[in-house]
Amino acid sequence: AAPASRAAESDTSLNIILKLQDKIDSTFIKMDSGVAFAAREIQKTGASGDDGRKVIADLARSSPYAVDCAFIDAKGIMAIVEPEEYKSYEGSDVSGQEQVMRLHRTRRPVMGDAFKCVEGFYASDIEQPVFSARGDFAGSVSLLFKPEDILSSVIRSVTNDPSLYIWVMQKDGRILYDPDPAQIGKILFSDPLYEPFPDAVAFARKVAADRTGSGSYDFFDLGTTKSVRKDAVWTTIALHGTEWRLVVATKEF
């Protein structure tokens, strides 16, 4: 690309990435405030009985991205799960999940990295602690969601520019969103797909290490087996200490 058009491309990428960051962050904040409200309601109603179940069912209905919502007791057991089709998971022990352990240790809100949930797929969740009227730790309220659902929805609402290649990665290299669905869930640092592209892996490690930056790498052009050079900028979307990296790349011509 001529320097002028390269500069214009980079302006477009920066403009888009800031819009995306803002919109994804505000989507998470809205979901988080819904979970916090439900946790305060459970504190008033208690978790046993119809009132507690209604709080969880209302939360599940309140977010278009919620797969299910749960009250997880102080032992890490899913005591209430809504909506109805996920009720069979009540009684599941999730005490070993990283984000549940973190919440139990810190008694503070968490968002999990993607994990294999008891429901059988990779998902993430936002959890808020619940305390009894006396202030004792009573468990947490959880909203389970699929990261790619939120990310694809927000990305589509911000841009449908085919020249932009937008992807999202956890700091451990797991791809949470990619325009090529076959790549979602792969670990960029170790999956055989990326072995022929050492500079793409090196770029991903830089992305994992720094909250923001720019760089370039070679990888397949979307939908082809042809390798192209891509220029990229990245930034961070974060909630409760969990950080995901948002990358916007454009092809070099």
Binning pLDDT at 50, 70 and 90, where does residue 240 land? very high
pLDDT at 196: 94
The pTM of the full predicted model, rounded to 2 decimals, is: 0.91
pLDDT digits (tens, 9 = 90+) for 181-220: 999 999 999 999 999 999 999 999 999 999 999 999 999 8
Model confidence at 156: pLDDT above 50:
yes
Residue from 149, 219, 161 nearest 16 by CA: 161
Please say whether the beta carbons of 188 and 217 come within 8 A.
no
pLDDT at 242: 95
DSSP state of 4: H
Model confidence at 2: pLDDT above 50:
no
Find the angle CA(50)-CA(54)-CA(59) to the nearest 5 degrees: 155
Task: Over range 142-157, report the average pLDDT.
Answer: 96
Task: Over range 93-118, report the average pLDDT.
Answer: 96
Task: In whole angstroms, give the CA distance from residue 28 to residue 31.
Answer: 5
Element (H, E) at 38: helix 3-45
Please say whether the beta carbons of 22 and 30 come within 8 A.
no
Strand 213-220 versus strand 227-239 pairing type: antiparallel
Please confirm whether the linkage preceding 83 is cis (ω < 30° from 0): yes
pLDDT digits (tens, 9 = 90+) for 16-25: 999 999 999 9
Task: Over range 119-146, report the average pLDDT.
Answer: 95
pLDDT digits (tens, 9 = 90+) for 52-96: 999 999 999 999 999 999 999 999 999 999 999 999 999 999 999
Tokens encoding 227: 């390798």
Task: Over range 114-138, report the average pLDDT.
Answer: 93
Q: What is the DSSP string of 93-131?
A: B-TTSHHHHHHHHH-S-EEPPPEE-TTSSEEEEEEEEEE
Model confidence at 128: pLDDT above 70:
yes
pLDDT at 239: 96
The torsion angles phi and psi of 24, rounded to 5 degrees, stand at: -65, -45
Beta-bridge mates of residue 141: 71, 128
Task: In whole angstroms, give the CA distance from residue 165 to residue 37.
Answer: 36
Return mean pLDDT, the chain: 93
pLDDT at 221: 85
Task: Over range 149-169, report the average pLDDT.
Answer: 93
Task: In whole angstroms, give the CA distance from residue 210 to residue 202.
Answer: 13
**Low-confidence winner among 29-38, 66-75, 89-98, 244-253 (lowest mean pLDDT):** 244-253
pLDDT at 209: 97
Contacts of 53 (CB under 8 A, 6+ apart): 80, 82
Strand 175-177 versus strand 137-145 pairing type: unpaired
